[in-house]
Amino acid sequence: MITFVTDKDRNEQNEEEPVGVTQTGTPVGKIVEKAEKAAAEEAEKAKEKETAEETKESKETKETEGNDEKADKKTDKDDAAEETEGSEKTDNTDKTKDKIEKMLFSINEHMALFHKGNLRNGFTLEYDGSIILLGDVNPGAEIKATGNILILGALKGVAHAGCNGEIGAFVFALNLIPVQLRIANIITRFPDGDSKEGRKPEYAYVEDGKIYVSPFE
């Protein structure tokens, strides 16, 4: 999971820190060493996926996972200050699923713009509501919505969800490699060293005043 640290004050952002957005989370493989517990959970989770059947037991596990997740996130934040690698946050839990559903239906559920075609450099697509884009957002293009943004393509430009201040808005893309990402009044940018190749569908959302990016499965 990738975590974007937010930068509300641009002047501060530009000051000492090399990057306003620090990558605190790292891909799954690396973190396992750090948190054995998380690794165990991860393995369990993988098994669950395989069986596909959700037993009561597995649900319980998931609940505990949810709690651990919170704890992990706290260390995540502490680590962020020291710019060290944060610990793993498990995805694909019921909790996050619920959250997406909540997000999906909380904001302008009846208002969505469907747009087909690529957004090229210099173009802005703006809508009061949510946007579903069938195509790419190229570098230099901007997609802006008061609600959510779903991009069935690559996001390589700037996306601004919840641009009227809706903090619950999210951005989804098949390939989420934005120059910059904004949700409500929070701004982040793509971590400098991160690979832009071979990324899976991801979505970005706000939690505790920070933008997080998680794989969408």
By CB under 8 A, name the one of 2, 3, 20, 169 that touches another protein.
20
Q: Of the candidates 60, 144, 68, 148, which has an alpha carbon nearest to the alpha carbon of residue 108?
A: 148
C-alpha to C-alpha distances, 3 to 88, 150, 177, nearest whole angstrom: 10, 19, 13
Q: Decide: 187 and 168 in contact? Cβ < 8 Å.
A: no
Question: If you compute the radius of gyration of the chain from its CA atoms, what whole number of angstroms results?
Answer: 17
Least distance between another protein and beta carbon 209 (Å): 17
Looking at 9-17, 72-80, 166-174, 202-210, which segment touches another protein (CB under 8 A)? Answer: 9-17
Bridge partners of 207?
210
DSSP classification of residue 6: P
Q: How many CB atoms lie within 10 A of CB 163?
A: 20
Give the x-and-dash track for 141-180 against another protein (CB under 8 A): -x------------------------------------xx
202 binds another protein (CB under 8 A): no
For residues 123 to 142, the per-residue mask of contacts with another protein, x marking binding by CB under 8 A and - elsewhere, is xx--------------xx-x
CB of 73 to another protein, least distance (A): 25
189 binds another protein (CB under 8 A): yes
Q: Does residue number 201 form part of the binding site for another protein (CB under 8 A)?
A: no
Question: Listing from the earlier edge strand, what are the strands of the sheet with 130-134?
Answer: 2-4, 210-215, 202-207, 171-176, 149-155, 130-134, 112-116
Q: In the bound complex, what is the minimum distance in angstroms from residue 178's beta carbon to another protein? A: 8
- Among the listed ranges 85-93, 108-116, 165-173, 186-194, the one in contact with another protein (CB under 8 A) is 186-194
Question: Do you know the residue count of the chain?
Answer: 217
Note whether 139 and 200 are within 8 A (CB): no
Using CB under 8 A as the criterion, which residues of the chain lie in contact with another protein when the complex forms? 10-11, 13-15, 18-20, 121-124, 139-140, 142, 179-180, 187, 189-190
